[in-house]
Amino acid sequence: MSQTVRTRPEGSTQALSEAYDTALLDLDGVVVYAGGNAIAHAVESLGTARAGGMHLAYVTNNALRTPDAVADHLTELGIPTGPSDVITSAQAVARLISEQVPAGARVLVIGGEGLRVALRERGLEPVDSAEDDPAAVVQGYGGPELPWGRFAEASYAIARGVPWFASNTDLTIPSARGIAPGNGAAVEVVRIATGAEPQVAGKPLPPMHRETILRTGAERPLVVGDRLDTDIEGAFNGEVDSLLVLTGVTDGEQLLAAPPQHRPTYVDADLRGLLTGQPEVVEAGDGFRCGGWTATAGTERLELAGEGEAMDGLRALCAAAWKAAGDGSCELDGGKALVRLGL
């Protein structure tokens, strides 16, 4: 991946929706919708991208809901979606399990309906007890009502040597009321009880990326997300380009400090970034220029000069910070520059 943020395909002024055939869009509460409501500019931006020929696929680490349920929700929000356009970590982990256990094997499920549907799709039989002689244990987000006793069932089976799988290990999950414990927190409960380590399928690991490519047939995919450690790292691991949008958990300071595996190819405020080519980031003397801004790396802090669009200033700062950091994390203070941009 490039050391500097790239704001349009090389040698082209194409919109991102024209330069890539498929957008792999994060669905974990902050890119397309949050708390049941669409994020600002999401519906119209996605509609325009789709009308221009871009295939839209929705990728979620949340293993609770089925693709049908997610597709219905998106359609209700004004984003026409079919179940085949939704890829979940439940599907990715079910494929991973199916490759390691006999056809028709029983799998102890610690989670919700999404996991059960995905297992049946792969010809496996979901069961509820460690006494059902499972060939594997799978753990996925089961919602706030998941009984504590489910963790005990997983622990009993794993202690007997049954292989353990997890859909994902996100420690938190966004909800309408705020940030709640995610599947990763539940996985830690079982890890502490057993001392075992699960095989994990979800973002940012390769099984999830493989699942999205197999199901979408994408040849030039663009990963779109808000989290550096799942969406962007997943794109890095899959060796594909990515667009970070600032409608979720990542802020300017985190972005500037990002190590190579967390550096997006593109950055924008929201999903309108799919529809533009955006100004180039170019070297300018000792720094980098984007739009009306020039950023340089000083001895202690990042410096920003000029004026213009805030996103252009952020792109220039990213280029300067990442060049200064090399293969590490940037430790220069970018706070003053970010305040100037209102970020």
Instruction: Give me the catalytic one of 21, 26, 226, 231.
Output: 26
* pLDDT per residue as tens digits for the range 108-144: 999 999 999 999 999 999 999 999 999 999 999 999 9
Is 251 designated active site? no
Among this protein's residues, is 268 annotated catalytic?
Answer: no
State pLDDT tens for residues 167-181: 999 998 877 788 889
Most distant pair of Cα atoms in the chain: their distance: 69
Positive or negative torsion for Cα 226, 199, 207, 233? positive
Indicate yes or no: pTM above 0.85.
yes
Sheet holding 164-166, edge to edge: 125-127, 106-110, 136-139, 164-166, 199-200
User: Cα(343)–Cα(335) distance, rounded to whole angstroms?
Assistant: 9
Task: Please state, as a whole number, how many other Cβ atoms lie within 10 Å of the Cβ of residue 105.
Answer: 19
**Selected catalytic residue, list 28, 226, 268, 312:** 28
* Mean pLDDT of all residues belonging to the chain: 93
Q: How many residues in the chain? A: 343
Token reading at 78: 């004004």
172 with 179: CB under 8 angstroms? Answer: yes
CA atoms within 13 A on the CB side of 50: 16
Tokens read off for 243: 């667009």
Structure token pair of residue 296: 């340089």
pLDDT tens digits, 228-239 = 999 999 999 999
Q: pLDDT digit of tens for each residue in the chain (343 aa)?
A: 345 666 444 434 689 999 999 999 998 655 676 666 778 899 999 999 999 999 999 999 999 999 999 999 999 988 999 999 999 999 999 999 999 999 999 999 999 999 999 999 999 999 999 999 999 999 999 999 999 999 999 999 999 999 999 999 999 887 778 888 999 999 999 999 999 999 999 999 999 999 999 999 999 999 999 999 999 999 999 999 999 999 888 999 999 999 999 999 999 999 999 998 878 899 999 999 999 999 999 999 999 999 999 999 999 999 999 999 999 999 999 999 999 999 9
